[in-house]
């Protein structure tokens, strides 16, 4: 199953990446992808644009950089689009339903609609992603070999490999 392989580093560590494209794996890509992610907190699920920004330069060839940016935009917007679409359709349709039942029904339908989107994102992870915590950063790789190489380059920084 193609779940991600994660490498955890202290947040203040400056990671080293293998000299190959994070998207296609070709050696010496000659360019980088500026990957930015906000720190995850309990409220991050609801308010994603607030929080401390963590930026890392990832080796990436030019064609993959455009593709990965596009994929990241589509993955993020699909979640928002599904939520808005369900609420726009479901809430007006629940006008005749008892008011006490409206919210649980809407929530259930929303979760049922979002489940395939979330399942897809878990089963088919992007080539590279991060999860930023208070004291750590999880570097998530779809390619387990890339994760192992990244771990080997960053062991001296306290890297921990999780598969």
Residue 1: what pLDDT?
39
Torsion of the alpha carbons at 133, 48, 143 and 58, rounded to the nearest 10:
-80
Give 61-90 pLDDT, tens digit per residue. Answer: 999 888 888 888 888 788 888 888 888 888
Q: Write the Ramachandran bin of 28: left for phi over 0, alpha for psi from -120 to 50, otherwise beta.
A: left
Separation of alpha carbons 27 and 19, rounded Å: 6
Q: Report the predicted TM-score, pTM, of the whole model to 2 decimal places.
A: 0.73
pLDDT for residue 51: 60
Average pLDDT on 16-23 reads: 90
Per-residue pLDDT tens over the stretch 133-148: 888 889 999 888 999 9
Distance CA 10, CA 21 (A): 23
pLDDT digits (tens, 9 = 90+) for 97-129: 888 888 888 888 888 888 888 888 888 888 888
47 vs 19, residue with greater confidence: 19
At 50, is the pLDDT very low, low, confident or very high (cuts 50, 70, 90)? low
Residue 7's pLDDT is what?
Answer: 93
Separation of alpha carbons 159 and 69, rounded Å: 26
pLDDT attached to residue 40: 59
User: How much is the pLDDT for 152?
Assistant: 94
Per-residue three-class SS string for the chain: CCCCEEEEEECCCCCCCCCECCCCCCECCCCEEEEEEEECCCCCCCCCCCCCEEEEEEECCHHHHHHHHHHHHHHHHHHHHHHHHHHHHHHHHCCCCCHHHHHHHHHHHHHHHHHHHHHHHHHCCCCEEEEECCCEEEEEECCHHHHHHHHHHHHHHCCEEEC
Angle between helices 99-123 and 62-93 (to 10 degrees): 160
Contact (CB, 8 A) for 3 and 125: yes
pLDDT of residue 114: 85
Domain ranges of the chain: 5-162
**Of 14, 9, 28, 37, nearest in space to 131 by CA:** 37
């Amino acid at each position: 199953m193609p779940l991600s392989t994660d490498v955890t580093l202290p947040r203040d560590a400056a990671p080293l990446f293998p000299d190959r494209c994070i998207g296609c794996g070709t050696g010496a890509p000659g360019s980088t992808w500026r990957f930015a992610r906000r720190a995850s907190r309990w409220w991050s699920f609801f308010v994603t644009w607030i929080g401390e920004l963590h930026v890392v330069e990832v080796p990436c060839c030019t064609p993959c950089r455009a593709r990965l940016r596009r994929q990241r935009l589509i993955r993020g917007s699909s979640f928002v689009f599904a939520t808005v679409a369900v609420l726009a359709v479901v809430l007006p349709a629940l006008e005749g339903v008892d008011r006490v039942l409206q919210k649980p029904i809407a929530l259930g339908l929303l979760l049922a609609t979002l489940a395939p989107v979330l399942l897809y994102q878990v089963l088919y992870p992007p080539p590279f992603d991060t999860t930023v915590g208070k004291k750590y950063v999880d570097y998530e790789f779809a390619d387990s070999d890339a994760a192992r190489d990244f771990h080997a380059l960053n062991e001296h920084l306290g890297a921990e490999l999780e598969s």
